Amino acid sequence: MSDPATPIYSHGALALSRARLLFAFGRLQLPSVGLSEPVLSRHLERTYATYASKEGETASWIDYWSRLHALDWYLACGCLERSPEAWQRLFALRANPADALLIDALRSRAVRLYPRDLERQETAVGEYWSRLLVSENPAQSAILMRYDGLRPLAPWLIRVFQNWHMSDLRRKFEETGACDSDWSSAETQNDWQWRDAFREAARDWLGTIDEEGQLLIGLRWRYRLSQRDAAKLLGMHEGTLSRHTAALRDRYLLYIEERLTDQGWTGSDLRDFILAEMESVLLDEPLVGVSSLARLIARRGLQIPDVGS
């Protein structure tokens, strides 16, 4: 039995009973992982602290219990304790009940992140997998150490994978001047309800733009062309392309702002949130995917940019 003076148990009999139920559930569902109660108590304190740091004064054990994905949490703890059975389970985890394995979902995301760059696609997943337990930055926690158990593990890992690579891409393109800030911004609000609402609105907006808009977005984001290179490819003056891009961005911001405001958005920095979230939509949306863009480019007699070089 773990030390009764630890913070979990200082929250009373209800916290104690729920903690014990959580431990028993994990041992029942994943007996071969075999984590002890003291070990799990330590991880529970750690993940609750992660949750509380985000929620501030509104954090409570009751709320944390009600939102916890217990089996995913237990599995992540097992991986952090380097349990071979836990890692085998993680390798076999599915992106969702009807989808491919997690590892295949990550590979698919790598293809969308690095179109036509086969070497980078192959290394992206391996690098990410190696960072689950060991951080690339000594000042940051390893990826699995950041998981608080409040979201399904597989989608969370996919999301972190995408954010990790998007941050790397954004940094590289800012350093080389290949992409400006028209469609990028720092991540802001970590609210999955609003992310879902945003993605639905963004997809609806993408369905309203014409082929010229689709091509412009695709060249600037999917193929990561600079404003100068995109204008050259399209045979357009750079200033004209800049005005078209700005007009497209303004229409997009107005459309999404109206949709989210109508749905009751109460957070701050709505535009920053929208600009940050648009990255993931552009990577997932078939309308501006590689196949669709290839058809648009071929129809105009243009040559697909070699993004792998």
Contact in structure between 262 and 276 (CB atoms under 8 Å):
no
Residues 119 and 48 in one domain: yes
Residues 108 and 28 in one domain: yes
pLDDT of residue 113: 76
Residue that terminates a domain, selected from 121, 140, 164? 164
Residues 25 and 157 in one domain: yes
Mean pLDDT check: name the lowest of 118-122, 125-129, 207-211: 118-122
Residue 223 vs residues 54, 84, 226, 296: alpha-carbon distances, Å? 35, 40, 9, 13
The answer as to whether 306 is a domain residue is: no
Residues 12 and 145 in one domain: yes
Residue 8 vs residues 41, 54, 56, 71, 148: alpha-carbon distances, Å? 8, 18, 17, 19, 15
pLDDT of residue 304: 64
Residues 143 and 237 in one domain: no
Residues 268 and 137 in one domain: no
The answer as to whether 53 is a domain residue is: yes
* Average pLDDT along the chain: 78
pLDDT in tens, 150-194: 888 988 898 888 878 877 776 666 555 554 445 444 333 345 557
Residue (of 282, 277, 284) closest to 109 by Cα position = 284
pLDDT of residue 99: 58
pLDDT of residue 86: 92
User: How many structural domains compose the chain?
Assistant: 2
Mean pLDDT check: name the lowest of 95-109, 169-183, 259-273: 169-183
The answer as to whether 304 is a domain residue is: no
pLDDT in tens, 73-94: 999 999 999 999 999 999 888 8
pLDDT of residue 11: 56
Asked whether the predicted pLDDT for residue 15 surpasses 80, the reply is: no
Residues 27 and 70 in one domain: yes
The more confident residue out of 258 and 224 is: 258
The answer as to whether 173 is a domain residue is: no
Enclosing domain of residue 106? 7-164
Mean pLDDT calculated for residue range 259-283: 70
Asked whether the predicted pLDDT for residue 132 surpasses 70, the reply is: yes
The answer as to whether 106 is a domain residue is: yes
The answer as to whether 172 is a domain residue is: no
Asked whether the predicted pLDDT for residue 9 surpasses 60, the reply is: no
Residues 215 and 113 in one domain: no
pLDDT in tens, 222-251: 777 888 888 888 888 999 998 998 898 888
Residues 145 and 257 in one domain: no
